[in-house]
Chain A
Amino acid sequence: MSDVMVDVRGVHKSFGPLEVLRGVDLRVRAGEVTVVLGPSGSGKSTLLRTINHLEKVNRGWISIDGELIGYRRSGNRLHELKEKDVLKQRTHIGFVFQNFNLFPHLTVLDNLVEAPVAALRRPRKEAVETARRLLARVGLADKADAYPRQLSGGQQQRVAIARALALEPKVLLFDEPTSALDPELVGEVLDVIKDLARTGTTMIVVTHEIGFAREVADTVVFMDGGVVVEQGPPSAVLDEPQHERTRAFLSKVL
């Protein structure tokens, strides 16, 4: 199992008295697409946010490509990393938000150039070249000089995906990437993600798009009540769910 890219072990997370994650285990192999399904409040988004350390875990650990996230291990101790080092780790983890979170005061091109220049200290010229190539890849080469608010929601989310790719991350995390979009714009964003799946990008996608899960996922994970209830290939989880809770959820969304 040396090709495990994301390893989540026994992760617990509470917000005050509310226990959102209660011992989550998840392994994602390099090049695979994992789709996380579950009712709202099941902890899917929180799990995703713990993977890039936007949320600190209370118990358990997470590693990416063999590297512990947020901590340094010496013997049996875990030393909390300084923010500077956490920021460095995050450059290996692309994150796509539900609300895009593009920088509205920067042009589309500058949105893509900012992180490679600021975090990886790439020369600007090189970063601009990469950015233009990525914009062409998501079909927005002609929007480089536009500001985010001049774009449709679908276009903004494609820019956000390109921005995450600009750091050449080892894994891409999608937090409900199409939930804020008008129905007719969902397809264009899913197409970009499908295209990435074909090129062997490791991805974890939290979504409500069952059709997308069936078509693209290598593994479907069903979460409820802060634990992984069931996981496996889409044919197994979506068509022959073993657990009552999975069946109940699928009957509601299908």
Chain B
Amino acid sequence: MASTTDTAPPGPTAPGAQAPPLPDDPAGLKVVPARHYARWAAAAAVVVLVAQFTHGLATNPVWEWDVFRDYVLSETIVQAVWVTLQLTAYATVLGFLLGTVLAFMRLSRSPVLQTVAWTYIWIFRSIPMIVQLVFWFNLSALYDRLGFGIPFGPVFWSVDSNSIIGTIGAAVIGLTLHQAAYAAEIVRGGVLAVDEGQLEAAAALGIPRLRQIRRIVLPQAMRAILPTAGNEIIGLLKGTSVVYVMSIGELFYQVQVIYGRNGRVIPLLLVATAWYVVLTSLLSVAQYYVERRYARGADRTPPPTPLQRARRFVRTLRAEAGRRHRPVVPFKPLGDIR
């Protein structure tokens, strides 16, 4: 017995039965893969359901794919998509700028700045976006004139508030202020995720304060900020559909106008859905590459991008084909494939 335990690796023994000693040469053993019957059954059921749904999409006349085709690239819709994109872009850029300022106010050593930022975030996270948008839409009732002057003193210059803040302006302000409250917490979370030692090292090297933030802290915070920020921006893209209450010609509003006229509700909702899916997909791809950029130095060797993987796959296929078709000609394309 002692001789077998010395040479063979330990293995489980069937209870009761005395298994023969394991052979010295592992090649003499055959491995039988485990069979996952339940897993296979579940997969088959899901495939059937998906097939049924896809079949329904293609054949059910209610979808009215011909109407979808007529409208999806029509000028009105494309223009509405453009408005949606603009709202998203402005609210994202301005929202995150303001959010970053708020985040650093909350992280500052001044209790006044901390409190103001905290209060802002508290209020704007508490008001539903749609309520806030209607507020801004009625801005002129609140402040009919906007101007510059000495606080609590004379006003030097002022204008009618409706004339400088149009409907789109009001929508952008509403989306931005709402977004900033969330962005502030996302940025703050990212900054807190950066190791304390990084700021200490930067301070010990005498790097100026603003540059510490811009060059040392924020690039590292981006790793923690980006996944959540990606969520937020995608949420915002779809959230812009709320501004239909202000009768702005963005995608969802325009779709409603059209089906209000022709009664083709389902295919027009499909048009909106298709565009939201396309835009969200583009944002997701962009997010992937931006995250990859900020991962520099975090991984020892960054994984290949999907594009690189696809190219490598094509190269391998070609190499295989080359070998098969020209077996006599010496061919060594595999050198750069790892």
In the assembled complex, the CB of A69 is this many whole angstroms from the nearest CB of chain B, namely 13
In the assembled complex, the CB of A86 is this many whole angstroms from the nearest CB of chain B, namely 8
Please choose the segment from B15-23, B135-143, B207-215 that sits at the chain A interface, where 4 or more of its residues have CB less than 8 A away. B207-215
A149 within 8 A of B: yes
A96 to B180 alpha-carbon distance, docked (Å): 39
Residues on A with beta carbons closer than 8 Å to the beta carbon of B201: 95, 97, 101-103
Residues on A with beta carbons closer than 8 Å to the beta carbon of B215: 114, 118
CB atoms of A149 and B206 under 8 A apart: no
A106 to B211 alpha-carbon distance, docked (Å): 14
Q: Which of B210-224 contact A (CB under 8 A)?
A: 211, 215-216, 219-220
With A105-B296, A149-B297 given, is the CB distance from A83 to B209 under 8 Å?
yes
With A54-B200, A97-B197 given, is the CB distance from A119 to B205 under 8 Å?
yes
State how many residues of chain B have any CB contact under 8 Å with chain A: 24
Residues on A with beta carbons closer than 8 Å to the beta carbon of B220: 103-105
Q: Name A114's contact: one of B205, B209, B300 (CB within 8 Å).
A: B205
In the assembled complex, the CB of A94 is this many whole angstroms from the nearest CB of chain B, namely 8
CB atoms of A118 and B204 under 8 A apart: no
CB atoms of B296 and A90 under 8 A apart: no
Residues on A with beta carbons closer than 8 Å to the beta carbon of B296: 105, 147
Of all chain B residues, the one with the shortest Cβ separation from A102 is B201
A83 to B296 alpha-carbon distance, docked (Å): 31
Q: Which of A102-130 contact B (CB under 8 A)?
A: 102-107, 114-115, 118-120
Residues on A with beta carbons closer than 8 Å to the beta carbon of B205: 90-91, 95, 114-115, 119, 163-164, 167
Which among B201, B205, B209, B296 has the greatest number of chain A C-beta atoms within 10 A? B205
A150 within 8 A of B: yes
B298 within 8 A of A: yes
With A103-B216, A104-B297 given, is the CB distance from A114 to B207 under 8 Å?
yes
With A84-B208, A101-B198, A105-B220 given, is the CB distance from A54 to B297 under 8 Å?
no
A52 within 8 A of B: yes
> What band does the interface of chain A fall in when counting residues whose beta carbon is under 8 Å from B?
20 to 34
Q: Name A54's contact: one of B198, B203, B209, B219 (CB within 8 Å).
A: B203
Residues on A with beta carbons closer than 8 Å to the beta carbon of B202: 103
A45 within 8 A of B: no
- Encode contact with A along B218-234: 1 for CB under 8 Å, 0 otherwise: 01100000000000000
CB atoms of A99 and B207 under 8 A apart: no
In the assembled complex, the CB of B194 is this many whole angstroms from the nearest CB of chain A, namely 10
A90 to B207 alpha-carbon distance, docked (Å): 9
Q: Which of A221-235 contact B (CB under 8 A)?
A: none
Q: Name B204's contact: one of A52, A83, A99 (CB within 8 Å).
A: A52
With A87-B203, A103-B198, A103-B201 given, is the CB distance from A118 to B208 under 8 Å?
yes
A118 to B206 alpha-carbon distance, docked (Å): 8
A88 within 8 A of B: yes
Q: Name A90's contact: one of B197, B198, B206, B219 (CB within 8 Å).
A: B206
Residues on B with beta carbons closer than 8 Å to the beta carbon of A114: 205, 207, 215
A153 within 8 A of B: no
Residues on B with beta carbons closer than 8 Å to the beta carbon of A88: 206
With A54-B200, A54-B203, A104-B220 given, is the CB distance from A119 to B208 under 8 Å?
yes
Residues on A with beta carbons closer than 8 Å to the beta carbon of B203: 54, 87, 90
Q: Name A118's contact: one of B195, B200, B207 (CB within 8 Å).
A: B207
In the assembled complex, the CB of B328 is this many whole angstroms from the nearest CB of chain A, namely 44
**Can you give 17 A-B contacts (C-beta < 8 A)?**
A54-B204, A87-B203, A87-B209, A93-B204, A95-B205, A97-B197, A101-B201, A103-B201, A105-B220, A105-B296, A105-B298, A114-B207, A115-B206, A119-B207, A119-B208, A120-B206, A149-B297
